[in-house]
């Protein structure tokens, strides 16, 4: 295994404890009137039974994450210490398992805790006697997502990639490496030609479409408010939406520019494809860390920021309850809600109202766009 490949693999392993740690912290980052995707009075978050459920979930997730991290590190050590090493397929499969299995375990643990919270809720009679609806006065003064116009910055990135490709095109070899394995061997190539110009443009266009759409969902999302503290909850959510939109735009632009430059420089032989791949992995890891930091600081929908602004009275009644519209705590289905996007109940980010036909159209469109992008890339190789 070459040095850049080793660096890439170590960073890929580091994603396991990083994302696993975020999963372990998830119950503590949710809105204060939600616990394991169940609506509860905001002042009851410190109830000993709810806290015990959160701690049990967190401990289990930390154990699962630590186990996969240790296993990945052990396999890497065996690979480096043996003559033949471990096959690349095993290494990749292990990284994927270390990322996906904790997600499945997290969901299973959430469902188990959710049932326990529902029982506590019934026993304590935590139900809203009426559904309170709040409105924020002077909503235009409340912070929110940044303008979609920032996504126009993808255009100069695309133009710059064309200019750089044109300048370095004469020095490019007839066969351009597109993929290498952990041993530094080229496993996929592309003939010199129009594809050299097309690949960076395709990648930038695809990334711009995905990121701009994600940014748009934030601007169109249902704005959650706490009937007991409408002003502070609206402010906290607005600041959360602004931070997430800034992070989304910055992430997309940096990834597009870095990937385009790396591809063009490696195609021209200025630097090796291995080092370019390592650089992209380093960048991806930094982005993951920054995203987690923002999530921890703000909490889901600004929950942690809201908690720092205003504490919830311990005897505050339950003013709103829409548990019946959340399937398994993660799928929102409400025909009476005109909103298409809204914050998730267990996790950081936004989800769709699956009762709206437009939600299904968007899912099909995203799958079609991704398939078209993959097909276009492979057709160039």
Are 26 and 308 within 8 A, CB to CB? no
Q: List residues bridging with 116 in a β-sheet.
A: none
> What span, in angstroms and rounded, lies between the C-alpha atoms of 262 and 195?
15
3-state helix, strand, coil in the chain (%, to 5): 65, 5, 25
Q: Is the pLDDT of residue 138 over 50?
A: no
32 — pLDDT class (breaks 50, 70, 90): confident
Burial 263-301 (b: 16+ CB within 10 A, else e): bbbbbbeeebbbbbbbbbbebbbeebeebbebbeebbbb
Count other Cβ atoms within 10 Å, centred on residue 83: 4
157 — pLDDT class (breaks 50, 70, 90): very high
Residue ranges of domains in the chain? 3-380
As a whole number, mean pLDDT of residues 210-228 equals 88
Can you tell me whether residue 175 is helix, strand or coil?
strand
Among the ranges given (18-32, 125-139, 337-351), the one the predictor scored with the smallest mean pLDDT: 125-139
Using one digit for the tens of pLDDT, what is the confidence trace for 332-349?
999 998 899 999 999 999
Using one digit for the tens of pLDDT, what is the confidence trace for 90-131?
777 887 888 889 999 999 999 999 999 999 999 988 886 655
Among the ranges given (110-124, 163-177, 223-237), the one the predictor scored with the smallest mean pLDDT: 223-237
> What span, in angstroms and rounded, lies between the C-alpha atoms of 95 and 10?
10
| CA-closest candidate to residue 151, choices 98, 209, 66 | 209
Beta strands in 45-174 (DSSP E): none
Whole-angstrom CA distances from 75 to 70, 72, 94 are: 9, 5, 9
DSSP code at position 147: P
**pLDDT score, position 58:** 97
Q: Is the pLDDT of residue 231 over 90?
A: no
As a whole number, mean pLDDT of residues 223-251 equals 86
């Amino acid at each position: 295994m070459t040095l850049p490949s080793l660096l890439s693999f170590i960073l890929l392993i580091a994603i396991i404890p990083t994302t696993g740690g975020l999963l372990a912290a998830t119950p503590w980052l949710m809105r204060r009137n939600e616990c394991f995707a169940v609506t509860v009075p905001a002042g009851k978050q410190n109830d000993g039974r709810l806290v015990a459920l959160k701690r049990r979930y967190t401990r289990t997730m930390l154990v699962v994450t630590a186990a996969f991290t240790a296993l990945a590190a052990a396999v890497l050590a065996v690979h480096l210490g043996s003559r033949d090493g471990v096959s690349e397929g095993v290494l990749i499969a292990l990284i994927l398992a270390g990322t996906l299995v904790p997600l499945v375990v997290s969901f299973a643990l959430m469902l188990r805790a959710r049932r326990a919270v529902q029982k506590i809720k019934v026993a304590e009679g935590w139900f809203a006697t009426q559904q309170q609806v709040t409105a924020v006065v002077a909503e235009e003064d409340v912070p929110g997502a940044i303008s979609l116009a920032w996504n126009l910055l993808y255009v100069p990135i695309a133009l710059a990639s064309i200019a750089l490709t044109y300048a370095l095109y004469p020095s490019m070899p007839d066969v351009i490496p597109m993929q290498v394995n952990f041993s530094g061997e080229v496993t996929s190539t592309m003939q010199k030609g129009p594809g050299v110009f097309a690949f960076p443009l395709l990648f930038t266009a695809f990334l711009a479409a995905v990121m701009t759409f994600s940014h748009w969902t934030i601007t169109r999302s249902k704005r959650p408010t706490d009937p007991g503290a409408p002003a502070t909850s609206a402010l906290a959510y607005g600041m959360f939406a602004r931070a997430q939109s800034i992070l989304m735009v910055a992430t997309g632009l940096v990834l597009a520019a870095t990937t385009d430059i790396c591809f063009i420089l490696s195609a021209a032989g200025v630097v090796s494809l291995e080092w370019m791949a390592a650089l992209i992995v380093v960048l991806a890891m930094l982005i993951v860390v920054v995203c987690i930091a923002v999530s921890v600081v703000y909490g889901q929908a600004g929950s942690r920021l809201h908690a720092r602004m205003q504490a919830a009275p311990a005897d505050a009644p339950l003013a709103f309850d829409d548990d019946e519209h959340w399937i398994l705590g993660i799928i929102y289905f409400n025909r009476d809600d005109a909103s298409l996007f809204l914050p998730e109940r267990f996790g950081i980010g936004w989800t769709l109202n699956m009762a709206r036909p437009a939600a299904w159209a968007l899912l099909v469109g995203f799958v079609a766009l991704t398939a078209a992008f993959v097909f276009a890339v492979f057709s160039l190789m």
